Every structure is written in structure tokens, then in C-alpha cells.
Structure 1
Amino acid sequence: MRVLIVGGTSSLAQTLIPLLRERCEVLTAGRKGCDVELDLCSRDIQIPAGIDCVVNMAAAFGGKDLTNTLQAMDVNVLGVIKLCHASSKANAKHFVHISSIFSDLESESPFFGAYSLSKKHSEDIAQFCGRELRLPVAVMKPSQLYGVGAQFRKHQPFLYTIMDKAQRHEDIDLFGSNDPLRNFIHAQDVARIISAVIATKIEGTYRCAHPDNVTYSQIAAAAISAFESKSKVRFLKDKPDIPSNGFACDKTLFRLLGYFPRISIAHGMQMEAAHRRQAW
């Protein structure tokens, strides 16, 4: 099987590629540093012939200004249309689109923005193109991704700051008096799930959240334990409360694949701590 990963330099792609190469020929595509040069903002895009499965991991994360909002729509929505048509033209047999569980946020949520909106549209576009082009499509909606190594820090700065403080034995300050929820899923779990989706040629749209939401204090406690730290957790009650952003776990995809996420936040912190110790 030949698999093309679009957005091939992303941290998730770099976690997935070694798994796929055990049984597939893998090509990467992107604006730079990939086997195939491909820019989803280009007017016309093409993919190589003979590709069995296209995995779209490319994404623009948006922002609050017009330029970033337009870029999110251009890459995450219009780019998906062009990529689906290019995949169909190249006779690809399966299209796997990596979206985000943030697409399920209500517009009133403080976490809803251009990224969430564009991802919501991207899912509809992928399924629409799949139907019109008779292209089998799977859409996966992972929650917040983290993993081993500095490449994951960019998108989860708060999580890695907690680990940094624990590593340095510094106290961990949390704003407000509540203990907000988050849902993190490890990149290694998501990579295994994507690999299984490709192998089984599953179609449909699926949530891909960790079964357990975690609180900020649980995250901090896991980091303190993993780094054998003397840090303490303090809630700064004079600061504004931070809203929760947890998600219910729909286990449909996990049951179909016979694979459930295995890496808890405690285990994930231990993996990162071990990685940092080896680098010392």
C-alpha cells in the first residue's frame, strides 16, 4: 500500500510515519521538507499516481485578525476541496482527514474561533466531496494532542510549561479557584488509531478523544510525580477563573478498530520525563 501524508512535517505525521513504514510505502507532501512539494493554498494541486490512501494532516491554526482567519479558511476548507479532487483524479482509494474535536464547540464557547469554524466546515467539505467523487472518506476528530519531544510544545505551551516547572522544582501557579477540565490524547495513541483506520479502510466521521478528562491539578500532579519534583501547586484565587474545555468520549471508533487509547496523562508525563533525562 502507498500512503501519501499531506502535512508531512507535522509532529503527528512524524509520529505516524515510522508505524506506517512497517507495512506501507510512505510519501510525504507539504510546502517544504517533504518528498512531494504541495501547497494547499495553490490554485491547482496534484498528487502522484498510484497512491492508495491520502492522509490530510495539513492545517492552519487561525487567529483573531483577518489575515489569519482567511488563511485558516484557505488551508482548512478550500484546501480540502482541492485535495479531495486531486485524490480522486489520481485514483486514490481512501481519504483520511484529520480534523479536531474543537469543531464540535458551540459558537458561544470562549475556545471557539477561526480554527474551530474552519475545521467544522472542513469535515462537511470532506464528506461532500467523498459523496460527489465516490471517494471513501474517514474524518477523525482528535482532542488536544501532546507527545514526546519539543516539537509538541508549539501547540500546547501551557502543558509543557507545567512540565518545565516540575523539572526545575518550581511551584506551579494556577489561575482562579476552580480546577478546569481538559482532554489530552497522546500522539502515539492517535498515530496507532490512524494506522488502523488506514488498514481497515474505515469510512465516516468519528471523535477521537481520550476516555478521561483531566483537571489542571491532575496534570500538575502527574508532572510532579514524573519528574520526582519538589514543586507545589498553588491556586491564585485573586486571578480570573479559567473555563473548562473537557469533551465526552465517543468510543465508536475505538470499538470498530479494537483499539482504545492506552496512554494516560500520568504515563505521558513519565514518557516525556524519561526523554528529557536521556537528553541530559
Structure 2
Amino acid sequence: MKILIIGSKGFIGRHAYKYFHEKYSETYAADVATDYVDKKYFLLDSTNSDFNEIFEAVKFDICINCSGAASVPDSLHNTLRDFNLNAHNVLKIADSIKKHNPDCKLINLSSAAVYGNPKFLPICETDAISPVSPYGYHKKFAEEILEEYYQLFRIQSCSLRIFSAYGEGLQKQLLWDVFSKSQTHENITLFGTGRETRDFIHVQDIIQCIDLIIDKGSFKADVYNIANGEQISIKSIAESLLKNLRFIGKLSFSGEEREGDPLYWVADIMKIKNLGYQQQVSISDGIKNYVKWAEDLK
């Protein structure tokens, strides 16, 4: 098995590369940061990534695209950059596979942001999608590109609609924001009411899902919800983190909604469960591990 991890220096990419490198000796990496050690590493141009040389050089069985931007607020301010990273690059990867490595299966990391504010919970893969941010739209475009390349050129692929990913190594989004504020503020204020919900999944469980899909999944431009099917409020997870940090200040919420953020999320995960998925990292253990990692950075 020859596997390529694009975006191997990012949050999910690092975990994916570590896991698959230990499992398969023929695991390659690619990203925009220079790596002077790994001989199976491809350096990408951050301003104009070209994937043709990679797929000409090695015939891969699986390509896992973990690259791209992952910030809703940034997509509102740097919309073209977000489009290039989350949609245009997917088109370039798919086209390079078509030209040089048509038997390679492509796994692209999409996002639950494609759903926007769903009308019904839990959210199923067959439900209507209606993004509320440029980030969500661009992930939607990427899924449509893969559908195009499967229908017209039979390039095998699937999209993973990841809900709220977290874990050691993530230095952005809710948990990092709360942790960072706890180090410098006596009291913490967050956006929203705190009643907004998310469906959190630890990065190790995301990698488990990827492994299951490689082994048993369908690559006819399929989509998979990647989550735990558990609705958790922003307030409760923030309080859990602060409790583990032994924070003695006050947590409050501004009541102001942040543009581009959905209100309530919880996934129907029957499709991934049918492949054998079982949660390995509980939310309580995941929070404890995250706090330990974050405190070790100090």
C-alpha cells in the first residue's frame, strides 16, 4: 500500500502521517514547509501548488488530502485564499490523479460546515446542504468537483464531513481559545449564549475513520459524516476544560453570534458505524489529554 498525505504538517495531517507511516512503510508526505529529514517528502509551493510531479513520481494507492484552510472567520476576510486552498487545490489534485495516477483513490477532508444551520437533527449525509460561510461553500465546491471527476472520468474519491475536530496539537478554535484566555484573563467571555451545540470528535478517532474507509468504504464520490453522534453545548465543554485547568475565574457569554457560525450540530453517524467505527477517545479523556498537552507547552 502506497499512501500520500497532503498537508502532513497540519493538525490532522500530522496525526494521519504518524499513524499510516507506522502501519505502511510506503507512506509519503507533502506540504509547504521544508523538511530536510524525510526522504519521502514532497515540498509544495505555497503560492501555486503543483501536484503533477508528485503523481508522476510515485503511483499511489491512496491520497489523503488534509491540506486547506480551516477557519470560518478567516474565510470571511480572505475569501479568495480560502477558495484556492479548499476548492481550487482539490481540483488540481483530482486533475493530477486523472492525468498520472488514475487508479489512486482520493480521500478529501470536507467539513460539516457544508450543512450550515440544519432544519433537522441529527444531520444525515443525504440531508440538504446550505452553507452559511465562504468556508462552507468552498468545501461544498470541493465535494462537487469530486463528484464531477467520478461521474466523467471515474476518479475514485470520497469526502469526509468532519464535525468539531479537537485534540493535541490544535492551536486554534474553541478549546485553544479558552485555554489561551485562561492563561491571561481572570474572567473569560465567549461569543454566543453557550447553548450552541457541536459534535466533537478526537483526532485519533478521525484517523480511525479514515483507516476504516480505506479498508471498507465506497469511493464513488461518497460522503461520510465524521463525528460521534453526541450533541454537546459550547458552555459544557468550555466548563469541562476550565475545570481541568483548575481555573477559578468566571465564564460568561456575550450573547453575540459570530458571523458564519451555525447554532446546533449533531451528526447521524450510522454510515461510518456500519464500517465498524467505535469511539475510542471519550470527551472527558480527550479534554484531559488536551489540557496536559497545552500545559506542557508553557
TM range (shorter): 0.7 to 0.9
1:176 to 1:98, Cα distance in 2 relative to 1, 3 A: closer
Q: Which amino acid aligns with 1:94?
A: K
Match of 1:45 in 2: 52
Match of 1:217 in 2: 235
Deviations 1:6-36 (A, max 9, x none): 1121110101112112321211112233511
Match of 1:113 among 127, 133, 155: 133
Match of 2:105 in 1: 94
Deviations 1:59-100 (A, max 9, x none): 1355334xx322222332232222112123224431111111
Q: Is 1:5 matched up with 2:5?
A: yes
Q: Does the 8 Å contact 1:4/1:26 carry over to 2?
A: yes
1:91 to 1:188, Cα distance in 2 relative to 1, 3 A: same
User: Which 10-residue stretch deviates more, 116-125 or 38-47?
Assistant: 38-47
Q: Does the 8 Å contact 1:19/1:192 carry over to 2?
A: no
* Secondary structure of 2:86 counterpart: helix
- Separation (CA, whole Å) in 1 of partners of 2:248 and 2:69: 38
- Separation (CA, whole Å) in 1 of partners of 2:274 and 2:86: 27
Q: In angstroms, what is the RMSD of aligned CA positions? A: 3.0
TM-score normalised according to structure 1 size: 0.83
1:277 to 1:160, Cα distance in 2 relative to 1, 3 A: closer
Unaligned runs of 5+ in 2: 36-40, 119-128
Unaligned runs of 5+ in 1: none
* Secondary structure of 2:140 counterpart: helix
* Secondary structure of 2:80 counterpart: helix
TM-score normalised according to structure 2 size: 0.78
1:83 to 1:22, Cα distance in 2 relative to 1, 3 A: same
Q: Does the 8 Å contact 2:107/2:160 carry over to 1?
A: yes
Deviations 1:152-200 (A, max 9, x none): 123x1x4223234556794333456562223332211111211222233
Identical aligned residues as a percent: 23
- Separation (CA, whole Å) in 1 of partners of 2:184 and 2:194: 25
Q: Does the 8 Å contact 1:13/1:57 carry over to 2?
A: yes
